[in-house]
Structure 1
Amino acid sequence: MATDLTAPRTAARLDVAPIQRRTMRLLFTTQIIGGIGVTIGISVGALLAARVAGTAVAGVAQSAGVVGAALLAVPVTRIMTRHGRRPGLVLAYTVGAVGGVLVVLAAATRSVPLLLLGMLLFGGGTAANLQARYTAVDLAEPARRGRQLSLIVWATTIGAVAAPNFAALADRVTTGWGLPPLAGPFAFSAAAFVLASVVLLGLLRPDPLLTARRLAAADPPPTPAGAASDAAAPNAAAAGNATPGVAVAGSAVPTAAGSNGVAPAAAVAAEAPAGDGAGPATAAVGVRAPRAAGMRLAWSVVRGQPAARLGIAAVAIGHLVMVAVMAMTPVRLGESHADADVLRLVGIVLSLHIAGMYAFSPVVGWLTDRLGRRAVILGGVGLLLAACAVAGTAGHHTPRLSVGLVLLGLGWSGTMVAGSTLLSESVSAGVRPSVQGFSDLIMGLAGASAAVLSGFVMQLAGYPVLTLLAAVATVPLVALALRPVPTGAPGEEG
C-alpha cells in the first residue's frame, strides 16, 4: 500500500517507520561504499603528495581534501535545504569521483597544481559521508536521535577499516595497468564514489527530508499558548525533539531574533521548495525550507544558542586534533620503515585508528543519550589528550603508536557523536540543515588548518611536538564545556 503523506496523524506515525527503515538500510550500504572510497585514498594521500612535491606539501595536499569537504558543505547544504537530501549526496559523491580521477592524472604527470585540485575535489566523498549522518535522523524517533546518528557513523567502519589494507593490492593491480605508484588507490576511490552516487540516485526515494516536511506540513502539532515568548524560547528550539511521530520532522516555531538566536519567523516561513509537497500557507512555521537558508542565517542562529556553539566547537576541535595527528602518522612510519613495508604498516595502523573512530560509535551514541552530551564531549577530550601523550612518546615503536591512534579515534568519536547530537537538538528544524552545513564547514576548515600546519611542524620540529600542540588545542573546548548552563536549556539533558 502506498504511503499517504497527507493521512491523519495516527496513519503518518505508522507509515514513517518503513520509510525510515528503508532509508537506514540504504545509508548503511552507501556509507560502507563511501567509507572504502574515502579511506583508501586518505591512506596513501600523504605518501603520494610527499613523493610528488615533498613532505611539507604533503600536509597541504591532505588539507586540500579537508578544505574541499568543508567548502562543499555550503552548496550541498543549500541543495538539500531546497531540494532534499538525495541530490545533495549525489552531487558530493560525484565531485569526489572527479577528484579521484584528477589525483591519478596528477601522479602520472607529477603536477602539483593538479594534485591539489584533485585532493580538493576528492573531499566531496568526505562531505557526503558526513551529511549522511544527518540524513539518518530526519525521520528518526526523537528519543533515538543520537543512536540513529551514531549507527550511520558506525556503518563507515566496515568499509573504512578494511580499505587501507586494500591500498597495497590496488597499487599492485593498477601498476600493471601502467599507472604510477600510489595512484591506483585513488582510481578505486573514484569507482566507489560513482557506485555510491548511482545507488543513492536510484534508491533514496522518498527523500527523507522532504518526507518529513510533508508530514509536518500536513498535520502540524498544536502550538502551546505563549510559545513565542522569551520565557519559552529555549524549549521552542527543541520542540521538534520532544514529540514522537510527526513532530520529529521539526515543527518548532522560531521566535523573534534575540530571544534564543533563531531568526525572525518571517525569515523562516518562506515558500516551500518546488516539488517538496509541502502544504499551502497553513503549514507550520519552521517546517519549510527558508529562502534565506545559508551560512549567514546559520551564524545568526548559532550565535544566540550556547548549546549549539558547544556542539560546533566539539565537532570542530575534535576533528582538528584528529587530523593533525593522523595526517602525519604515515609520514612518521615512513621515517623508520622501507618502502616495501610502509604501505602494509600504514594499512594496519590506520585500520586500527579508523576502528577507534567508528566501531564503537553505537556505544558512544548510547552513552550520549544516557549520560548527557557534555559528559561524553569531555570524555572524548580526555581520550584525545591520552592519544597525544601515547603517540607523541612512542618514538618508532609501531605497536605503541597504534595504541595512540586507536585512542585518537575513540576521542574523535566522542566529540563527533555527542557534538552533532547536541547541535541538532539545539536549533529549530526550519534552520537545522543550514546549521548542520555550517558546522561541517567550520569542522572542515579547522581540520584543514591542522593538516596544513602539521606538515610544516613535522618537518621543522618533529612528530612529538606536533602531538603536544594538538593536545594544547583542546583547552578552549574544555573551558566551553565546563561553563555553567541554564537548567532546561535545549540539548543539555541526557
Structure 2
Amino acid sequence: MLGGIGVSSGAAVGALLAEDISGSATYAGLGSTFQVLGAALVAIPIAQVTAARGRRPGLALGYALAAVGAAGILVAAVLRSFPLLLVSSFLFGGAVASNSQTRYAAADLAAPQRRGRDIGVVVWATTVGSVLGPNLVGPGEPVARALGLPVLAGPFVFSLLGAVAAVGVLLVLLRPDPLLESRRREPATHDGGAGAAAVAPVLQGSVLRGLRVVGADPVARLGLLTLALGHVVMVSVMVMTPLHMSHGAAALEVIGLVISIHVLGMFAFSPLVGAAVDRVGARAVALVGAGVLSAATLLAAASPVGQSATLVAGLFLLGLGWSCTLVSGSTLLTGAVPVAERPGAQGAADVVMGLAAAAGGALAGVVVDRASFHVLALLALGVAVTVGLLAGLTRSGRVSAPPA
C-alpha cells in the first residue's frame, strides 16, 4: 500500500513535469521511461540481495533507492535540471521494482492450487495506495507552495514519504522471511555422496542464469512474454494519457481522477483474477487479458483530446487487462521453476518486462509528438493481439490445479 502511494503519486504528473522542465512534448515520456528502465535494472541487485539474504532486504533495497530518487526529483524541479530529473527517475523506479517483487513474496509459501489467488491478494493490497496516490495531485499543490517547490513537484513529496514508510514496514513486519522459509521447507538434497548431510537448496540470484532457466521451459517462457508484452501495452498508453488530456485543457484534478480509475482497474480485481487462474488455468486468463487490452486500446484510440467518457473506460480496461496478464504471467513463471531458481528467474522476468516497457514508453512520446495519441493506441493494439496469439498457440497445459 505504501509503495503504491509512492509510485502513483508521481505517476499522474511525471510526464507533465518532464515536459515542463525540458520544454518539449517529445521528451515528456522520458521521465516515465527512465523510471521504467530503473525498475527493470534495479531488479538485478534486488534479485541478488534476495538470493543472498531473503525477500526482506531485497524489497527494502528497492524502496530505499526510490526514496533517494524522489528526493532527487524534488531537487531537479527546483533547479530545472532535466538530466537530474532523468537520473532521479531511474532511482525512483526502485519502488516499481519492489512493488513488482512483492507478488513473488506472496507465492513463496503458497500451495500450488492457491498460488494465483495469493498473488492476486497481494497485488490487490496495492490498490489502496495506488488509487489514493494520483488523488494527492490536488493536495500536492499547497504542500509544494508551503515548501517553496514548483506545483508539479508536490506529489513527489508524498512519493518520498511513502517509500521511506515502506522500508520501515518491511524491516519490522515481514517476518519470517517468506523466501528463506520456503527454502527451509523445500525437500533437502544431499551434497557430496551417500554419507553427506542433507542441505537446503542454494538460492540462485543470477539474472542471466534465470533468463536461461526461463528460456528453456515453454511454460516459463510464455509467462515472461505475457508479463512483458502486457506491461508494454499498459505503460505506453498510460504514460501519455496525462499529456493527451492536458492538451485538451483538462484540469490536474481530473487527470488525477482518470489515472486513479486506471489504477483501480490494475489492482482492485486482482483477487478475482487470481481465483480465475486457479480455476480455469493461467493461459486462459492470459487470453482474456489480451482481449481486454485490445478493447482498451481501441477505446483510447477513439477518444478525443481532453477528458471523455471513452478515455475513462479505456483506461479502466487498460488496467484490468494488465491485471490479467500480470497475475497469469506471474503464476505461469513461478509454477514452472523450482524454489532454488526463483530469485534469478523472477528477477530476469522483471528485467525483461521493465526494459520492454521502457522502450515502449520512450517510443510513445515520439509517436505522440510526430503522429498522435490515437496512433499510439493502435500500435499498442497490435502488441495486445500478439499476447493473445502467444497464449492461444502455446500448449502449456494448466499450471494451477483446481482446488480440492
Above 0.5 in TM-score?
Answer: yes
- CA displacement at 1:352 relative to structure 2: 0.6
Aligned match for 2:7, one of 38, 47, 66: 38
Residue 314 of structure 2 is aligned to residue 395 of structure 1: no
Residue 391 (structure 1) shift: 1.1
Q: Distance in 2 between matches of 1:484 and 1:182?
A: 45
Q: 1:134 aligns with which of 98, 104, 109?
A: 104
Q: Tell me how far 1:453 sits from its aligned partner.
A: 0.5
Correspondences of 1:343-354 after superposition (within 5 Å)? 343-354=252-263
Deviation at 1:102, TM superposition (A): 0.4
Who is 2:61 aligned against? 91
TM-score with structure 2 length normalisation?
0.94
Distance 1:492 1:137, change over 3 A: closer
70, 73, 81: which one pairs with 2:40? 70
CA contact 2:281–2:398 (8 Å) conserved in 1? no
- 1:491 is matched with 399
TM-score in terms of structure 1 length = 0.78
1:61 matched to which residue of 2?
31
| 1:208-219 matches, cutoff 5 A | 208-216=178-186
- 1:250-309 per-position Cα deviation (integer Å, ceiling 9, x unaligned): x7x8xxxxxxxxxxx9xxx79xxxxxxxxx84125xx3214xx31221122112111111
Aligned equivalents of 1:305 and 1:393: distance in 2? 39
Please say if residues 71 and 441 of structure 1, whose CA atoms lie closer than 8 Å, have aligned partners that are also in contact.
yes
**d(CA) in 2 for partners of 1:457, 1:484:** 31
| Equivalent position SS for 1:186 | helix
Taking a change above 3 Å as real, the CA distance of residues 145 and 333 of structure 1, as seen in their structure-2 partners, is same
Contact 2:222–2:394 under 8 Å retained in 1: no
1:384 aligns with 2:298: no
Query: Which deviations, in whole Å up to 9, do the C-alpha atoms of 1:355-376 show, x marking residues without a partner?
Result: 1110111110011111111110
Write the distance in 1 (CA, Å) between the matches of 2:394 and 2:145. 58
Which residue is equivalent to 2:353? 443
Instruction: Tell me the distance in 2 between the aligned counterparts of 1:399 and 1:342.
Output: 15
Shift in alpha-carbon separation, 1:492–1:132, aligned structure 2, 3 A: closer
Q: Distance in 1 between matches of 2:41 and 2:78?
A: 27
Question: Among residues 172, 179, 198, which one is paired with 1:202 in the alignment?
Answer: 172
Q: Name which of 473, 479, 486 aligns with 2:389.
A: 479
Of 327, 351, 358, the residue aligned with 1:417 is: 327
C-alpha deviation, 1:188, in angstroms: 1.5
What is the match of residue 100 of structure 1?
70
| Aligned-residue offset at 1:445 | 0.5
Please, which runs of 5 or more residues in structure 1 have no aligned partner? 1-31, 221-250, 254-264, 271-279
Partner Cα distance (2:340, 2:114) in 1:
20
Indicate if the aligned counterparts of 2:33 and 2:361 stay in contact, CA closer than 8 A: yes
Query: Residue deviations 1:289-346, cap 9 Å, x none?
Result: 14xx312211221121111110000010000000010000000000111xxx521111
Q: 1:478 Cα shift?
A: 2.6
**Greater shift in the superposed pair: 61-70 or 169-178:** 169-178
Question: Which residue among 379, 383, 387 is the counterpart of 1:469?
Answer: 379
Could you tell me how far 1:490 is from its partner in structure 2? 6.8
The sequence identity of aligned pairs, in percent, is: 45
Distance 1:440 1:295 in 2: 10
User: In the TM superposition, what are the counterparts of 1:9-48 in structure 2 within 5 Å?
Assistant: 32-48=1-17
Residue identity in the other structure for 1:41: G
1:276 corresponds to which residue? none
Amino acid at match of 2:228: A
> Equivalents in 1 of 2:388, 2:118: separation in Å?
26
Question: Equivalent of 2:160, from 185, 190, 196?
Answer: 190
- Return the offset for 1:198: 1.3
The correspondence for 2:87, drawn from 117, 135, 138, is 117
Letter in 2 for 1:125: A
- The answer to whether structure 1 residue 307 and structure 2 residue 219 are counterparts is yes
Q: Give, as a single letter, the amino acid of the residue that structure 2 aligns with 1:385.
A: S
Of stretches 99-108 and 199-208 in structure 1, the one that deviates more from structure 2 is: 199-208
Tell me the distance in 2 between the aligned counterparts of 1:281 and 1:171: 62
> CA deviation digits over 1:100-140, x for unaligned, max 9?
00000000001011000010000011111111111112122
Q: Is the 8 A contact 2:278 2:400 kept in 1?
A: no
Equivalent residue pairs, number? 397
Q: Which amino acid aligns with 1:387?
A: A
Distance 2:26 2:51 in 1: 38
The one-character-per-residue Cα deviations of 1:28-49 (angstroms, maximum 9, x if unpaired) are: xxxx111111100111101100
**RMSD over aligned Cα, in angstroms?**
1.8
Measured in 2, the distance between the counterparts of 1:490 and 1:380 equals 17
Equivalent residue for 2:246?
334
Give the Cα–Cα distance (whole angstroms) in 1 for the partners of residues 175 and 388 of structure 2. Answer: 42
**Given residue 201 of structure 1, which amino acid in structure 2 is its aligned partner?**
L
Question: For the residues of structure 2 that align with 1:176 and 1:158, how far apart are their CA atoms?
Answer: 26
Q: 1:283 aligns with which of 199, 204, 228?
A: 199
CA distance in 2, matches of 1:388, 1:39: 21
Deviations 1:179-203 (A, max 9, x none): 1121111122111101110121122
Task: Tell me: higher relative CO, structure 1 or 2? Use CA pairs within 8 A at least 6 residues apart.
Answer: 2
Distance between the aligned counterparts of 2:252 and 2:10, measured in 1?
A: 12
132, 144, 154: which one aligns with 2:124: 154
- Indicate if the aligned counterparts of 1:426 and 1:490 stay in contact, CA closer than 8 A: no
1:352 and 1:485 mapped to 2: Cα distance? 35
SS in 1 for 2:29: helix
Q: Is the 8 A contact 2:237 2:377 kept in 1?
A: yes
Task: Provide the secondary structure at the position in 1 that maps to 2:137.
Answer: helix
Q: How far apart are the structure 2 equivalents of 1:206 and 1:38?
A: 26
- What is the one-letter code of the residue matched to 1:364? V
